[in-house]
């Protein structure tokens, strides 16, 4: 893993490049795909987060900073939700402006580069301990996702049934139907009154 030089400030772009380079160093094919774009700058935008700008180095790695970007990628909020769910089409939630060839390569890398944290742990702790810790981490992540789903469902039930802050769609449709019937009855009553008057 390439360590950040001491004179380089710890900015979000430096941290992003550090993580990206860790992935790229494990995959020579990925560096080879980026190397032809050496010197080009890319800007990642994910509002409300700060913009990240990096330049592609001749060896196919990323360096923080750079000049005017030849490619700007804007990540929409639905991208993170889709990636968290493991949805393949999540990358459609990226707006691209600039170098289309570079954008295609970066999208390919985003689909295929994966961090094998179990392998990194194995280098530090050994295979058995890494496998055990990775299993615990996966179980913990699954538990958190399940807990989040249950809490969201409980809050939705509370908001609709207990506190009546929200109205269920079916109840709202029934109310709309009743209001429509009431409006029609009032119109009929108005017409009868006109005939009598």
At residue 1, the pLDDT reads 45
Q: What is the dotted CATH code of the domain comprising 12-112?
A: 3.30.1050
pLDDT in tens, 160-185: 777 777 777 888 899 999 999 999 99
Q: How far apart are CA 106 and CA 42, in angstroms?
A: 10
Where do the domains of the chain lie? 12-112, 117-196
Mean pLDDT taken over the chain: 84
Give dist(CA 57, CA 38) in Å, integer: 5
Of the two residues 13 and 156, the one the predictor is more confident about is 13
Q: Does the pTM of the predicted model rise above 0.75?
A: no
Higher pLDDT, 182 or 124: 182
Q: What confidence tens digit (pLDDT) does each residue in 39-94 have?
A: 999 999 988 888 999 999 999 999 999 999 999 998 877 665 555 555 655 567 78
- Closest CA relative to residue 22, chosen from 164, 135, 157, 123: 123
Query: Quick count: other Cβ atoms within 10 Å of Cβ 56?
Result: 25
**Residue for token pair 């991208």:** 79
Q: Which residue has the higher pLDDT, 77 or 13?
A: 13
Of the candidates 52, 88, 87, the residue with the CA atom closest to the CA atom of residue 73:
52
pLDDT(4) > 60? no
């Amino acid at each position: 893993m390439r360590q950040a030089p001491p004179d380089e400030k710890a900015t979000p772009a430096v941290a992003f490049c550090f993580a990206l380079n860790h992935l790229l160093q494990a995959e020579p094919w990925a560096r080879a795909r980026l190397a032809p774009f050496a010197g080009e700058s890319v800007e990642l935008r994910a509002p409300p987060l700060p913009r990240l700008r990096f330049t592609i180095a001749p060896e196919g790695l990323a360096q923080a900073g750079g000049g005017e970007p030849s490619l700007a990628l804007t990540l929409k909020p639905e991208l993170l939700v889709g990636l968290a769910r493991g949805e393949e089409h999540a990358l459609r939630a990226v707006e691209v402006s600039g170098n289309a060839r570079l954008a295609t390569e970066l999208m390919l890398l985003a689909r295929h580069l994966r961090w094998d944290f179990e392998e990194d742990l194995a280098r530090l702790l050994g295979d058995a301990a890494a496998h055990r810790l990775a299993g615990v981490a996966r179980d913990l992540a699954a538990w958190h996702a399940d807990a989040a789903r249950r809490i969201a469902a409980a809050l939705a039930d509370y908001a609709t049934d207990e506190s009546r802050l929200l109205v269920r769609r079916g109840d709202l449709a029934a109310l709309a139907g009743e209001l429509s019937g009431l409006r029609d009855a009032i119109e009929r009553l108005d017409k009868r009154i006109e005939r009598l008057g």
